[in-house]
Amino acid sequence: MKVTVFGATGGVGREVITQALDRGDHVTAYVRNPAKLGLTHPDLTVIAGELTDREEVRRAVRGADAVVSALGPSLDRKATGTPLVDGTRAIVEAMQAEGVERYIGMATPSLRDPRDTSSLLGLIVPFMGRTFLPRAYRELLAMSRLVTNSPLDWTIARFTRPTDGARTGTVRAGYLGRDRIRASITRADIATFLLDQSTDPRFHRSAPAISN
């Protein structure tokens, strides 16, 4: 497959790229600083640019079978603005312009899915976000809603506490209050789940919660 990855230099994004290359995909990584990526591979194309560079974003998604966004709001309390809202808008518009339908992203349980029912995670995570990281909370919801309100064929994986460590190969996926979802999941397993969604139809236009 041809996969375009945004947020490629982050912990999850780097795992997505590595695993996609290992399984034989051609990967286009969109990054601000190619030196920070530090990866070379015959099937890896690196495009340097800002999310505000709409023509470059469009070039990055052109011809892709799926777009994986590993973008997430900064948790720095000194951060200002909501740059990923405009960045996500640019990605969505570029995909629509290029006829690319499959979008796979990530969020936290602050984003609700209509299939959720009452749960402890569903209460605690939004409360913590609104209380302690209000800017990041608003940015996450706004960027997610740009995707969920679009006509794209999207899946957004929600998780609470990403951890380092090797891929376990065991991922629980479902909806809060209905399925047994825990708090932690390794970044390697997150990446595997995101890539699996490129061919798995179970969670089209839904936001499953995932954990180990």
Residues of the chain with pLDDT under 50: none
For residue 195, give both structure tokens: 């890539």
- pTM comes to 0.96
- The pLDDT value recorded for residue 77 is 85
Decide if 22 contacts 195 (C-beta within 8 A): no
- The pLDDT value recorded for residue 9 is 96
CA distance 167 to 28: 23
CA distance 67 to 74: 21
- The pLDDT value recorded for residue 78 is 87
- The pLDDT value recorded for residue 148 is 98
- The pLDDT value recorded for residue 127 is 96
CA distance 72 to 94: 19
Count CB neighbours of 82 within 10 A: 18
- The pLDDT value recorded for residue 133 is 96
